[in-house]
Structure formats: structure tokens, C-alpha cells
């Protein structure tokens, strides 16, 4: 997947149509759906980001968000800010051929839709995938949701040419305010994804596996139930280190994602990224600056995954 080109004009026309008719951008969920949309069902599928003549150097970017409880507003904020996300990534050259996938995370112990996964898209079909998400608003109420199941899917059920052909990790952003369960459970992997595991997989092992293919970030947005909770923060920082982003304004989530990609791909520093935000008329600079202070100021070494052996390209280190 990942053909076609994003059009802000098409996006704006669709928004005007919905405003005129009273239609919802999340028509599937708002119409009373109770199950995963067939096109977002993770059972028995692999999501692919492939190079093409139109997009010869694809870069996979995945955004998965918790839709339980107070997190249900996240996809609505994302949908409203899609032009800013794509505008920054494309117009400022952060990535020439981005393929973006949206998905949603619930709780496999109790929810009807514990995992929803769209396709990698480069055009307005990514907006369509957002509109198919079931905003269930459930969750188990135990400060844990099934993030580990989403990590499992991203590690074992995605195939991305940026990694497979060029040894370059994609970008994975998980947006949520709770902890993962301690392990990927065999029964849940079978029921939700269709995989027969021999044993449960500890979440730390799952993070190590997913990071081979994905540069992984966890975003904790203001307004959610457990923002600032020390236990939740420590849980994710223990797993992901500095790649945990505390975001004071949910409306800045698209700009935060775009600048994180710019820092990693285009080697911009944070000040350059904030100037780019100003250029596109975004007022989120202050929020993004605080959220990305650690990432944007780092001068450490980003280890890029090794390319497949048949390409003869060893792994490399990029100075940020």
C-alpha cells in the first residue's frame, strides 16, 4: 500500500461537505458501530509499506492511539490536524515519500475492539481509515491497556521497504496514558491477530523486537486520566528511555510527530523545526518545544538497523 498523493484541497472539500450535511468525520463509530471495521481488522493480515515509481524511497510512519476512556478524543484531534502533519513532513522535506498508517488500541481483556489497524497510505485514504475507527471508550480500568499487543502486531505483521530494502527503521508513535500489560498473552494473540504462539512474550522482549524495525516513541498527552502519573511515566521511560514525550496540548500532536520525524530524518535541530511550524501558521511552537526538548537537543548516536545481507550495506550510525 501507499500509492497516490495527499491533497489538502480534497481534505478541505470533504470537511466542507461534512459541515454542510452534519456528517461526522467518524461516521462508522458515531453511527453506532460495535465491532472492528472489516478494513481495520488485524486478524490474519500484514500491513505493507512498499516502494513504487511514484514513491521510490518510502518511509513508514505508524500512529497508534489508545481509544479507551479519556483518550477517545485523540483521533478527532489527529483528523483535524492532518494537513499540518502532511504539510510539514512534505513541504519542508522531512521525508519525500511518507506512508502513514493509523490504528487504535483498546484492552484485549474486555473490549470488543482491542486492536484496529489501517493501511499505510500516502494520499487522502489515510483520512478514510481514521473515519473507520471504532471509538469504543472502554478499557479495563486498571491503569493498563493492550499496548503490548499493538507492539506485537507492529513487530511481526508489518513489512516495510524502508527497513527491508534500505535498513532504515520506520517511525512508530504510540499515544496513550496507561501502561502495557506485562506480556503478550498467547490466547489474545490468537484471538485478535490469529497467531498461535508457543508461549507468552514479556513486554520488554516485545519492545526490543519492535525497535529493530521501528524507531519507537510513546506520547502522553495532557487531559488524559494518568498524565503525570509517576508509575506510568517510569514504566515507559524504563522501556523507551528518552523516547517518551509528555505533550501539554493534544492539539499539538500532529506537529510533534512531524518534528520528531524531521529531527530524525532531515537532521534539523529543534529551533529549525519551530521556525518551520511558524512558517505553516501553527501556534503550537511553545508546546512542541517543551515536549521535544530532550529529543531535539540530543547529539547522541541514532543506530539505524542493518540492511538485509543481500544488499551488502552494513548498519550505520547517524549523528543528530
What is the tally of structural domains in the chain? Answer: 1
Q: Would residue 139 count as lying in a domain? A: yes
The parent domain of residue 15 ranges over 8-319
Whole-number Å distance between alpha carbons of 147 and 232: 13
| Cell reading at 222 | 495532557
Q: Would residue 262 count as lying in a domain? A: yes
CA dihedral 267, 272, 273, 278 (to 10 degrees): -160
Determine the pLDDT at residue 280.
77
CA distances from 6 to 10, 12, 46, 121, 279 (A): 8, 12, 23, 9, 20
Give the CATH number of the domain where residue 111 resides: 3.40.50.410
Determine the pLDDT at residue 227.
64
Q: Would residue 2 count as lying in a domain? A: no
Whole-number Å distance between alpha carbons of 221 and 66: 11
Q: Are 116 and 104 in contact (CB under 8 A)?
A: yes
Q: Would residue 273 count as lying in a domain? A: yes
Whole-number Å distance between alpha carbons of 145 and 166: 33
Q: Would residue 1 count as lying in a domain? A: no
Determine the pLDDT at residue 22.
75
CA distances from 1 to 7, 100, 141, 158, 196 (A): 17, 10, 36, 11, 26
- pLDDT per residue, tens digit, the chain (320 aa), is 545 666 666 666 777 867 787 777 788 888 889 999 999 999 999 999 999 999 999 999 999 989 887 676 777 777 777 767 777 888 788 988 999 999 999 999 999 999 999 999 887 788 888 889 998 877 656 789 999 999 999 999 999 999 999 999 999 999 998 999 999 999 999 999 999 999 999 999 999 999 999 999 999 987 665 666 789 999 999 999 999 999 888 888 889 999 999 999 988 899 999 998 888 778 888 999 989 987 755 433 333 333 344 333 333 333 32
DSSP-based three-state secondary structure for 315: coil
148's CB contacts (< 8 A; 6+ apart) are 180, 181, 182, 183, 184, 201, 203, 206
Q: Would residue 57 count as lying in a domain? A: yes
Q: Would residue 266 count as lying in a domain? A: yes
Q: Would residue 168 count as lying in a domain? A: yes
Burial class (CB in 10 A: 0-12, 13-18, 19+), 16: exposed
Q: Are 120 and 47 in contact (CB under 8 A)?
A: yes
Determine the pLDDT at residue 48.
97
CA distances from 44 to 40, 117, 125 (A): 11, 12, 22
Determine the pLDDT at residue 130.
85
Determine the pLDDT at residue 126.
81
| pTM (2 d.p.) | 0.87
- Nearest Cα to Cα of residue 3 among 103, 84, 118, 124: 124
Amino acid at each position: 500500500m501507499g500509492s497516490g498523493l495527499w491533497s489538502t484541497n480534497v481534505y478541505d472539500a470533504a470537511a466542507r461537505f461534512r459541515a454542510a450535511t452534519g456528517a461526522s468525520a467518524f461516521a462508522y463509530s458515531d453511527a453506532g458501530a460495535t465491532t472492528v471495521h472489516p478494513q481495520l481488522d488485524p486478524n490474519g493480515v500484514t500491513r505493507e509499506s512498499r516502494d513504487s515509481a511514484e514513491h521510490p524511497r518510502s518511509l513508514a510512519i505508524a500512529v497508534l492511539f489508545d481509544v479507551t476512556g479519556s483518550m477517545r478524543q485523540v483521533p478527532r484531534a489527529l483528523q483535524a490536524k492532518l494537513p499540518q502533519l502532511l504539510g510539514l513532513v512534505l513541504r519542508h522535506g522531512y521525508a519525500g515519500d511518507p506512508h502513514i498508517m493509523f490504528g487504535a488500541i483498546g484492552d484485549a481483556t474486555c473490549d470488543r475492539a482491542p486492536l484496529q489497524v489501517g493501511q499505510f497510505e500516502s494520499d487522502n485514504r489515510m483520512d478514510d481509515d481514521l473515519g473507520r475507527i471504532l471509538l469504543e471508550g472502554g478499557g479495563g480500568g486498571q491503569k493498563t491497556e493492550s499496548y503490548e499487543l499493538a507492539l506485537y502486531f507492529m513487530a511481526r505483521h508489518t513489512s516495510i521497504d524502508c527497513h527491508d530494502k534500505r535498513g532504515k527503521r520506520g517511525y512508530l508513535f504510540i499515544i496513550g496514558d496507561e501502561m502495557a500489560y506485562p506480556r503478550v498473552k498467547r490466547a489474545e494473540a490468537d484471538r485478535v491477530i490469529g497467531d498461535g504462539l508457543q508461549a507468552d512474550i514479556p513486554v520488554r522482549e516485545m519492545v526490543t523486537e519492535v525497535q529493530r524495525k521501528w524507531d519507537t516513541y510513546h506520547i502522553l498527552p495532557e487531559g488524559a486520566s494518568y498524565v503525570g502519573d509517576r508509575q506510568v511515566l517510569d514504566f515507559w521511560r524504563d522501556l523507551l528511555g528518552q523516547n517518551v514525550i509528555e505533550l501539554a496540548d493534544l492539539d499539538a500532536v500532529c506537529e510533534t510527530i512531524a518534528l520528531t520525524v524531521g529531527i530524525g530524518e532531515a537532521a534539523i535541530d529543534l529551533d529549525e523545526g519551530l521556525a518551520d511550524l511558524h512558517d505553516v501558521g501553527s501556534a503550537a511552537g511553545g508546546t512542541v518545544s517543551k515536549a521535544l526538548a530532550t529529543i531535539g537537543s540530543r547529539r547522541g548516536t541514532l543506530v539505524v538497523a542493518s540492511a538485509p545481507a543481500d544488499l551488502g550495506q552494513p548498519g550505520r550510525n547517524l549523528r543528530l
